Amino acid sequence: MVDLTDRVRQLNRGEENRRARYILYWMQVYKRPRYNHALCFAIRAANERRLPLVVYEGLKYNYPWANDRLHTFILQGVNENRREFQRLGIRYVFYLQKNERDPRDTVARLAEEAALLVTDDFPCFIIPEHNRRIAARVRIPVFAVDSNGLVPLSAFAKEEYAARTIRPKIKRLLPRYFVPFREEKVAVEDPHLRVNCPEETVFEDGEIGALVARCAIDHNVAPSPVYRGGRRAGLARLQHFVEKILPRYHEQRTHPEVDGTSRLSSYLHFGYLSAQEIAEAVQAADAPQQAKETYLEELIVRRELAYNFTRFNPRYASLEALPDWAKRTLRAHDGDPRPTIISPAQIEEAQTYDELWNATQRELLWTGEIHNYVRMLWGKKVIEWRPTHDEAFHLLEHLNNKYALDGRDPNSYAGILWCFGKHDRPWGPERPIFGLVRYMSSRSMSRKFAAQAYIEWTESLAQ
């Protein structure tokens, strides 16, 4: 049985509804029927009370940066989740709120006939506020369950300073938490239970475009032609990764011109895959130990550092979250003259003088992701091109969250702030604009891999 003790938080003092018809799991983040701690907790609650389980997934039109790309990636996962939950005897409800005239408050409505409400605990974006509001609104107990990583967020008492401080702690805790995941099974199957909630049934891929077109969202960001949403697509990419890419991951991960990294971050972000099942697949793979260790350092240490950061630092969406040395040095250099100011529109449209940088932005615009290695350069250059550090930060946040499928995530904020010194250390010599924050140049980076091939590949995407 999976140990959930350190992963569950009760968010209110609600009283259980003894005349309830079901247990409700509001699946906001971790959109998967397996390796899901919140689902496990909900199934146990249902079985203890001999009640069926309702899994509710909602997609509204008005979350920040809602656009065709993000909506499509989510809708592509709905049908297969519906089928899988049905097979497991669980009632799955999906509701698409297309505009302000459509019914709202569906979770509260469903909660009226539920004994208790279970939802995902996610330390970032709109989820903490959703959870605060629903816990205050409903009368039943609300539980937030942490399916974020291999080690529960509650295993740490405070914000960790850097990878070097969290790494030994994670190493010590992993044997306790990284244990086989035993799935739970519902005792009372009722996949067609009647519920008081509007529903959308997304049957085939062909219908998704028309559905998205009817939503009051930003229609200027096209669906990704490269990344398809859903657990099945995520599992297929995982299999390709462990068989074909992982054996050379440690050598090729700094080569954006080849398919040399996992490209699984969007599947992790939307919860189609869990970090644990990826880690298990990597451990079981036929690949050199060095490749596995290099990858697991990223997936576990770097990723869980980012989650720890947004859980414990309420100012994660600002430069206020930087360490003191970075704040000091940036403050001293914020007024430095910028040799070239580039407008947000030119930056967004990949129309700068820097061809390598334009390539990173094109990759983001056209695919919904940027290769791990050049993503650092993508962030660093914008610091040079905007009149203040604050403007650079907010433009990066906007572009990352608007175009990246894996955006709006703890990794987004840790990654962008890393460009300003977060989780890093001071580097000399002191430079204009950056002060002691690590500097990166396109010239030196382009010598480290076949930059021209990467540039040409991103040009071909735009055609």
**Contact residues: ligand FAD, CB under 6 A:** 253, 261-265, 268-269, 298-299, 302-303, 306, 372, 375-376, 378-379, 400, 404, 406-407, 409, 411-412, 414-416, 418-419
Least CB distance to ligand FAD at residue 368 (A): 10
H-type helices in 217-269, by residue range? 231-240, 249-252, 265-269
User: Rounded to whole angstroms, how far apart are CA atoms 272 and 274?
Assistant: 7
Nearest approach in angstroms of CB 423 to ligand FAD is 8
Helix (H), strand (E) counts: the chain: 20, 6
Q: How far apart are CA 318 and CA 144, in angstroms?
A: 26
Element (H, E) at 58: strand 53-60
* Between 41 and 270, CB nearer to ligand FAD: 270
21 or 37, CB closer to ligand FAD? 37
Q: Looking at beta carbons only, is 37 or 302 nearer to ligand FAD? A: 302
Tell whether the torsion through CA atoms of 231, 233, 237 and 240 is positive or negative. Answer: positive
Spell 242-279 as b/e; 16+ CB within 10 A means b. beebbbebbebbebbbbebbbbbbbbbbbbbbbbbbbb
Least distance (Å) from ligand FAD to the CB of residue 320?
Answer: 18
**How many angstroms separate the most distant Cα atoms in the chain?**
69
In the complex with ligand FAD, the residue whose CB is nearer, 217 or 399, is: 399
CB of 155 to ligand FAD, least distance (A): 18
Which of 116/300 has CB closer to ligand FAD? 300
Integer Cα distance of 416 and 310 in angstroms: 13
Which H helix or E strand runs over 445?
helix 442-446
Q: Which is nearer to ligand FAD, 100 or 259 (CB)?
A: 259
CB of 462 to ligand FAD, least distance (A): 20
- The Cβ of residue 92 has, within 10 Å, a number of other Cβ atoms equal to 22
We find the least distance from the C-beta atom of residue 31 to ligand FAD, in angstroms, to be 16
Residue 267 beta carbon to ligand FAD: minimum distance, rounded to whole angstroms: 8
Residue whose CB is nearest to ligand FAD in the complex, by number: 415
| Closer to ligand FAD by Cβ: residue 77 or 410 | 410
Q: Cβ of 101: how many Cβ atoms within 10 Å? A: 8
